[in-house]
Amino acid sequence: MNYLRTAILLAGLTALFMTVGYLIGGGAGVVIAFVIAAGTNLFSYWNADRLVLSMHGAQEVDERSAPELVAIVRELAQRAGLPAPRVYLMDSPQPNAFATGRNPQHAAVCATTGLLNTLNREEIAGVIGHELSHVRNHDTLTMTITANDCRRYFHARAVRHVLWRLWREAR
């Protein structure tokens, strides 16, 4: 069901992007908008997890650097019948965690240092279990695509702003 929802979301947002392309550039604008939407959607599908993790400065950890966190993630993934996701740690005092990736085979779970310093093992396991439920239900794909579309929207606004400024200065 989440794959269908993601496909509908992608189709709707691509259509919206193409409509804006039509309003800006007519038929050529539709084609350009479609190429941009298709390219960013494909790029997002294959690379969004890496983009999100690098955007937050997350570092991959293993049994040597974060043994308790890695053990919790692997134990809970095994109980849920999931492949063990990659585990990341983000240096932030705010207690938080998130999951990303296009499917369970390419998933990653990231926790902040604030989460590890604030909660006990049982509470951390509850948070990680919640994140793994997103992986199991394929919610991470929908969240990843949505984040990509938001990024595309804000980039389009920035480009529009720059072009508007250049046009005004040229007059």
Q: DSSP string spanning 55-81? A: HTT-EE--TTTSHHHHHHHHHHHHHHT
CA distances to 20, 71, 80, 162 from 156, rounded to whole Å, are 10, 42, 40, 10
Which residue in the list 63, 68, 131, 169 is annotated as catalytic?
Answer: 131
For residue 155, give the amino acid letter: H
60 is catalytic: no
To which residue do tokens 């606004």 refer? 157
To which residue do tokens 């929207």 refer? 153
What gap in Å lies between CA 171 and CA 164, rounded to an integer?
11
Using an 8 Å Cβ cutoff, are 22 and 56 in contact? Answer: no
Q: Mind telling me the catalytic residues?
A: 131
